[in-house]
Amino acid sequence: MNNETNEGTPGEEINHAESSERNILDIPSTVMLQDSNVSYWVDRYRQYARRSPSEICLPAIVRSGPAFESVVQPPQASLGGSDPLSQWVADARNELGPDGVVWGRVLLHFGFTAAEYLFIRDQYDTPGDQICIANRISQKVVAQMVTEVLDRGVDGIVLDAVNILPSAGSNYLDDNEISVSCFCDHCVSGLRERGFRVKWNDFMGPRNRMRIVLHNTATGTDHIDPTHETLQTRDHDRLLSLARARQFLSAEEDWRDEAIALIKYLEARGRLVWESFRALTEPCKGRARTAVVLGSVDYDQSQHVTAEIMMNSGAVDEIWVPDARVGMTAESSSLVCYLASRSSYYANSLFATLEHANEIIVAFGLLRRDGSAVQGKRRHSPLRTGTPKARRGRHPEGHRIRPARTTTGTVPHRGGTRVTCLARDMSSRRSPLGMIPRGLRSKCTRQDSNLQPSDP
């Protein structure tokens, strides 16, 4: 729950054509609506915000899948229905009245597709667990599901872009090495078309250019988020001063050439990101408003675009960001102050864990799909792995575990057998993961151990 306005502090100038204040109830996860309905959260909002919401943002697609029956993916099993989103939209309309605005939130993760050829890859060609938004097939999949969300009657689409391009240290790399995404073929060719040619050695080893803005520590990876002004003026001296002041680099080392090249890379990457968003929001043109959730107005190293670049591009109508600054205006987009600094990262991580736990509980038969508990029958604990039946590729209930189906046929999950048969019966011929609609299927060829799209 949160109260959002497009103003920095009360009384300051704003940039919105409709009203001076907007009260938005954001329900970020389907977990919140499993045991409590929309009316409950509206009452809680009124209790804490001391006002009624004028807009409600509903979880349409979360990390574990959609909240509706899609041609791409069935709904989450723990939701107990084939189309709960439509009911939530109706409930929200009833609470808001005729003048209310209902948004559908889409988390740009889509790991539930289990289609590795859609996923991000770092500079070492190691795949991640989420889609790359520059991948043309990913764009078609997201656009298809956005269209389906719009068909449920929402007034707008909110794309959660926090952590769309994660970069950090890794257990399989040395202390000074940083995993940077994304360098899939779509990104490499996209960067080249926008004036930056990737040289792999520039992003590997101790002279990795990203070390200027990323630094491994004992507790994680520190980061420097360049301002839009730094990138616009190509002020590499300012960037190096920050890196040395934060002890990312030593004062004795000369990184001038790397800093100049890094800014060129960040510029090209930023352009590729906002152009990708244009493809993702194409179904909304002339039909619904669009918004994007960013982690910062600056060049956050997990979103690779600034709020001002997004505003000036016209890729979306609104930018929801925690550190909105007064005076940041654009003709094409408005700025909405959203939550607090980096809170979206922690909230998304928390709800992803809860959603995954619910799916495991349903898969192991501890909870029925209508939300009721199974009584009188002992079940295997979902926290226990490697049970004899699971090791033989069978579910404890006796159903055979089926791997995810993708456009290339049957592809087993990475890391061995994993019980994630969610919204369909275990014996169903249709796998609930990795399903791509027939109209979006693309032939794939294997080149250099990577799955690459080719012309149909």
pLDDT in tens for each of the 456 residues of the chain? 344 443 333 333 334 334 457 899 999 889 899 888 999 999 999 999 899 999 999 999 999 899 999 999 988 877 877 899 999 999 999 999 989 999 999 999 999 999 999 999 999 898 999 999 999 999 999 999 999 999 999 999 999 998 899 886 555 556 667 888 899 999 999 999 999 999 988 998 888 899 999 988 877 788 899 999 999 999 999 999 999 999 999 888 899 999 999 999 999 999 999 999 999 999 999 999 999 999 889 999 889 999 999 988 889 999 998 887 655 555 556 888 876 655 665 676 777 777 777 666 666 655 554 545 544 444 433 333 343 333 333 333 444 333 333 333 333 333 333 323 233 332 333 333 344 444 444 433 333 333 333 333
Supply 139's token pair: 């764009």
**Cβ(61)–Cβ(113) below 8 Å:** no
Question: Angle at Cα 158 formed by Cα 277 and Cα 11, nearest 5°?
Answer: 110
Within-domain flag for 430: no
What is the predicted pLDDT for the residue at 231?
93
Tokens representing 262?
A: 């890094």
> At residue 367, what is the residue type?
L
Structurally, the chain folds into a number of domains equal to: 1
Indicate whether 202 belongs to any domain: yes
Contacts 24+ apart (CB under 8 A), 335-343: 335/6, 335/15, 335/307, 335/311, 336/4, 336/5, 336/6, 336/22, 336/24, 336/291, 337/4, 337/5, 337/6, 337/7, 337/8, 338/2, 338/4, 338/293, 339/2, 339/4, 341/296, 342/295
Q: Which residues of 6-36 are buried (b: 16+ CB within 10 A; e: fewer)?
A: bbbeeeeebbeeeeeebbbbbbbbbbbbbee
Residue 437, CA atoms < 13 Å, CB-side half-sphere: 17
Question: At 17, which amino acid appears?
Answer: A
Domain-embedded: residue 336: yes
279-289: string of b/e by CB count within 10 Å (b at 16+)? Answer: bbbebbeeebb
Q: Is residue 372 part of a domain?
A: no
For 257, the enclosing helix (H) or strand (E) is: helix 256-280
pLDDT confidence of residue 157? 97
Domain holding 177, by residue range, is: 24-353
pLDDT single digits (tens) 398-444:
443 333 333 333 333 333 333 232 333 323 333 333 444 444 444 33
Q: What is the pLDDT of residue 363?
A: 64
Q: Is residue 75 part of a domain?
A: yes
User: Residue 365's pLDDT is what?
Assistant: 59
pTM of the model: 0.74
Assigned domain for 254 exists? yes
> The domain spanning residue 330 has which CATH number?
3.20.20
Q: What's the pLDDT tens digit per position in 70-116?
A: 999 988 877 877 899 999 999 999 999 989 999 999 999 999 999 99
Beta strand extents in 3-76 (DSSP E only): 24-26, 55-62, 65-66
Could you give the CA distance from residue 33 to residue 47 in angstroms, rounded to a whole number?
Answer: 18
Structure tokens at 20: 């001076």
Overall size of the chain counted in residues: 456
The answer to whether residue 100 sits within a structural domain is yes
**In a domain? residue 29:** yes
Q: Give whole-number Cα distances, 414 to 129, 323, 384, 419, in Å.
A: 10, 38, 18, 12
